[in-house]
């Protein structure tokens, strides 16, 4: 099966081709994002249950990457099926629900599961279903990479030479199959020799900005500064940020956007300082059944993410976690928030740049 990998990153001084996720025979291969930026390893998932766990435990994260991973996981489930064909539909229903429950906010996961389900469910026999599952999961991932590249080509027109850009969380190639969403326009601007500087929110509590976005920008040679999450307003007020661009995990038909926790406050402060706030996402992130942000389920994650920090002990050379809070403290840990459409300047998709109030017209 396909081993197609296309994202060129520099690792240990050597340029190598990788995608965030790909499939070799019946094994799903993932860049293990839990270990970055300190260690680069490929995680190999050999069953659909392992692939679902990789999504749930955030070995892979980012809406388009989750979607592609789920499409491969569905293919693994079809390959694993060895019972009578009469029970195939009920089996796929259970597998679909199993994937849905891993990360409830990211719409691309639901989109990918439904895509593979619909492609294989009308097969005449299990052999045909297996062939379709593999073919369509590979196509889903390839199409996702093309879409994200197109987002970059369209969004790059919004980036002017000399701009300072703020981003939040990681919406780069690691969050996708390739290229990225929010980082794709920045990559394209850099490739076209535009001078840009990126302010990278650290993005607590999982630090995807300082761990992952900064790592990607470092590989690409794009100028950046990591800032504390609560410093963004300061730099906006000083006139040091010209534009904000973030990704999305789910977009409602009214233009409300679910994205990593902290995105809402960045949008509010950006509007107060007359700074454009853009969202970059593939069309598959738009939930055609979701009327507004009020209808989006927000995932709440483990309390331990808030109570401590983890990183590399450079003296011992090992990654470990430390506690930063009093024992027994209560926490709340929503992984996402909702940015109302009135705070969003425009949404960049592979189909163009759209005002939030025009999203409903993209149903087709």
φ/ψ of residue 166, rounded to 5: -100, 135
Q: Which residue among the candidates 178, 249, 287, 337 is catalytic per the annotation?
A: 249
Contact 234, 319 (CB under 8 A): no
Would you give the DSSP letter of residue 299?
P
Q: How far is CA 107 from the centre of its chain?
A: 11
Q: Name the residue with tokens 């999203």.
A: 359
| Whole-angstrom distance, CA of residue 74 vs CA of residue 120 | 10
Burial of 94 (C-beta count, 10 Å sphere; 0-12/13-18/19+): exposed
Is the preceding omega at residue 37 within 30 degrees of 0, hence cis? yes
| Whole-angstrom distance, CA of residue 143 vs CA of residue 169 | 24
* Contacts of 353-357 spanning 24+ positions with Cβ under 8 A: 353/154, 353/155, 353/158, 355/255, 356/254, 356/255, 356/256, 356/257, 357/254, 357/255
249 carries an active-site annotation:
yes
Interhelix angle for 183-191 vs 126-155, to 10°? 60
Contact 105, 335 (CB under 8 A): yes
Residues contacting 50, CB < 8 A, separation 6+: 28
**Catalytic residue IDs:** 249
């Amino acid at each position: 099966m396909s081993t197609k990998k296309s994202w060129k990153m520099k690792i240990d001084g050597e340029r190598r081709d990788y995608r965030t996720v790909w499939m070799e025979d019946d094994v799903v291969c993932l860049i293990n994002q839990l270990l970055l930026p300190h260690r680069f390893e490929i995680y190999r998932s050999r069953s659909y249950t392992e692939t679902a766990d990789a999504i749930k435990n955030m070995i892979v994260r980012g809406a388009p990457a989750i979607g592609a991973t789920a499409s491969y996981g569905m293919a693994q489930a079809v390959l694993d099926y060895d019972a009578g064909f009469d029970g195939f539909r009920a089996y796929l229903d259970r597998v679909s629900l199993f994937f849905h429950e891993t990360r409830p906010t990211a719409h691309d996961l639901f989109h990918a599961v439904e895509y593979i389900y619909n492609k294989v469910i009308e097969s005449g026999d299990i052999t045909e279903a297996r062939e379709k599952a593999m073919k369509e999961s590979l196509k889903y991932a390839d199409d996702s990479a093309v879409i994200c590249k197109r987002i970059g080509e369209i969004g790059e027109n919004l980036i002017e030479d000399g701009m300072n850009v703020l981003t939040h969380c990681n919406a780069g190639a690691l969050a996708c199959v390739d290229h990225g969403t929010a980082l794709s326009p920045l990559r394209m601007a850099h490739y076209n020799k535009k001078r840009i500087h990126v302010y990278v929110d650290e993005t607590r509590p999982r630090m995807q900005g300082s761990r992952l976005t900064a790592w990607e920008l470092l590989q690409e040679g794009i100028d950046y500064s990591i800032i504390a999450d609560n410093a963004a307003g300061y730099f906006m007020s000083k006139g040091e940020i010209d534009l904000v661009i973030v990704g999305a995990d789910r977009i409602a038909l009214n233009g409300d956007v679910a994205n990593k926790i902290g995105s809402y406050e960045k949008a509010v402060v950006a509007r107060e300082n007359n700074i454009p706030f853009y969202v970059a996402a593939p069309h598959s992130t738009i939930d055609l059944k979701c009327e507004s942000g009020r209808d989006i389920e927000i995932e709440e994650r483990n309390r331990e993410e808030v109570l401590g920090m983890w990183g590399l002990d450079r003296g011992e050379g090992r990654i470990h976690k430390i506690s930063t809070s009093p024992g027994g403290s209560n926490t709340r840990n929503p992984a996402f928030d909702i940015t109302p459409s009135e705070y969003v300047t425009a949404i960049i998709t592979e189909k163009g740049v759209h005002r939030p109030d025009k999203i409903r017209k993209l149903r087709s």
